[in-house]
Amino acid sequence: MALKSKFKNVKGTRDILPEEAVKWQRVENIIRKKMKQYNFQEIRFPTFESTDLFRKSTGESTDIVRKEMFTFKDMGNRSLTLKPEGTPSVVRMFLQHGLFNKGAIQKFYYIERMFRQERPQKGRYREFRQFGAEIIGSSSAETDGELVKSALDIFDELDIKGIKLNINSIGCPKCRKDFVKEFKGFLKGRLPELCEDCNRRYKENPMRILDCKKDKKKIKDAPLPSDFLCDECKKHFENFKNRLDFLNIKFNIDKHLVRGLDYYTKTVFEFVNSNLGSQNELGGGGRYDELIGFMGGESTPASGYAVGIDRLMLLLPEKEEKLSVDVYLVSLDSESDFVGSKLINSLREKGFSCDKDPMRRSIKAQFREADRQNARWVIIIGENERRKGIVQLKDMNKGEQKEVSMQIDKIVEELKC
């Protein structure tokens, strides 16, 4: 039964209680392990940045910048924004700290909270978590393949089934010009039929009209970016597909896939899963070869992706994951409590998780607590035990109890059995 309180978590945010946090820890550990196997280096960045960073890099015409950012003024009247995505901060850090001096190719990953003011629903929150990976300095399609593979490896290790990979190429600014010209011509007579957003996109970034959920059907026969690729972009896309084949990765070419951020060039991809319902995109990414130059750096190719961890959690197969403690102390009197406290501190130093009742309630209550905490072992100490220099060690799985010498090494030996 929950208590009535006037304070509740804010709409679109989520509390993660201990039972759930155990699952998050497992997932985050797997992400970190896999990222290390691929030699990505972890970076962490601030919760808020200057609003201009996102305006310039995520893009003025995107839904994120237009209507989803949590923007506020600080006391110095500077406009700040809670980060809605990670790529702009990664690029800023890369430039600000001169990371380009550290090597031609740099591989970063992050696990960070993001903030978008969207209408909350299952799988869509206002504060959510992403893990992302970015490779800066490589123009090779092999890099795009490696990124995709690193995400799929993580899904695999988490035993998440039914993930589909959609890919496309949206070309470079050079070939996009030809596409946009043709596409605008196609749209011109149809504009009155299209939604308000698409009419605005027509002026700001027409390609994004292909992404519109409402109007998709009305423009089924529109010219598509992939039909206008220049030789270099065509070759890059071929190489990307070959790389996926080489890695035994199945994919679907979705010629309408353009993604909702302004910085993409050439490769774009997304991971979808139908079990997520209407928010079926688990992750996505692509190449952003122009962004670093656009943000003031030397022209540097880059590619990356991000996955929504909250959505990942929705797909995690049910697994028995209980909160537990290795050792729980039950002491029968205050002197035994002193002795026991020393023992469990030594066991903690040896790497075991241990706990005891700080109120030293009745023996029954201490055992109840050991049960509630799923203790693997219980150490029982009373006057008798102290006199004999032993402890009673109860194996809670087997329900068996035996006498063990009070020496720490002897107890450790037993716990390792």
Instruction: Measure the CA–CA gap between 231 and 117, rounded to whole angstroms.
Output: 40
Strand pairing report for 41-42 and 106-115: parallel
Provide the angle, in degrees to the nearest 10, between the axes of the packed helices 231-246 and 141-157.
30
Residue 327 burial by CB count (10 A; 0-12/13-18/19+): exposed, middle or buried?
buried
How far apart are the C-alpha atoms of 328 and 355, rounded to whole Å?
Answer: 5
Please state the closest distance from residue 308 (CB atom) to ligand HAM, in A: 2
The C-alpha atoms of residue 10 and residue 383 are separated, in whole angstroms, by 52
Q: Which of residues 102-131 bind ligand HAM (CB under 6 A)?
A: 116, 118, 124-125, 128, 130
Residue placing its CB nearer to ligand HAM in the complex, 132 or 225: 132
CB of 65 to ligand HAM, least distance (A): 12
CB 286, min distance to ligand HAM, A: 6
Find the binding residues for ligand HAM in span 49-88 (CB under 6 A): 85-87
* Residue 257 burial (C-beta neighbours within 10 Å; 0-12, 13-18, 19+): buried
Under the criterion CB under 6 A, does residue 266 sit at the interface with ligand HAM? no
147 or 375, CB closer to ligand HAM? 147
Q: Is 411 helix (H, G, I), strand (E, B) or coil?
A: helix
Q: Of 136, 306, 347, 379, which one interacts with ligand HAM (CB under 6 A)? A: 306
Among residues 59, 225, 283, 301, which is the contact residue for ligand HAM, using CB under 6 A?
Answer: 283
Q: Which two tokens stand for residue 342?
A: 């020393």
Closest separation in Å from C-beta 258 to ligand HAM: 12
Residue 304 touching ligand HAM (CB under 6 A): yes
Considering CB under 6 A, how many residues would be counted as binding ligand HAM?
Answer: 26
- Which of 335, 328, 345 has the alpha carbon at shortest distance from 385? 335
End-to-end Cα distance, the chain: 40
Q: Which CB sits closer to ligand HAM, 225 or 284? A: 284
Verify binding: residue 137, ligand HAM, rule CB under 6 A: no
Interface mask toward ligand HAM for 340-379; x: CB under 6 A: ----------------------------------------
Q: Does 163 bind ligand HAM (CB under 6 A)?
A: no
DSSP annotation string for 6-24: S--PPTT-----HHHHHHH
User: Binding ligand HAM by CB under 6 A: which of 107, 311, 360, 386?
Assistant: 311
Which listed range, 41-49, 174-182, 303-311, 316-324, lies at the site for ligand HAM (CB under 6 A)? 303-311
For 389, phi then psi, to 5°, come to 70, 35
Question: Binding segment for ligand HAM among 32-40, 278-286, 314-322, 392-400 (CB under 6 A)?
Answer: 278-286
Rounded Cα distance between 61 and 68, Å, is: 12
Residue nearest to ligand HAM (CB): 308
Nearer to ligand HAM, 57 or 336 (CB): 57
- Could you tell me if 309 and 290 are in contact, meaning their C-beta atoms sit under 8 angstroms apart? no
CB of 67 to ligand HAM, least distance (A): 12
Q: Which residue, among 242, 406, 256, 266, has the nearest Cα to 336 in the 3D structure? A: 406
Residues contributing to the site for ligand HAM (CB under 6 A): 85-87, 116, 118, 124-125, 128, 130, 132, 134, 261, 281-286, 288, 304-308, 310-311
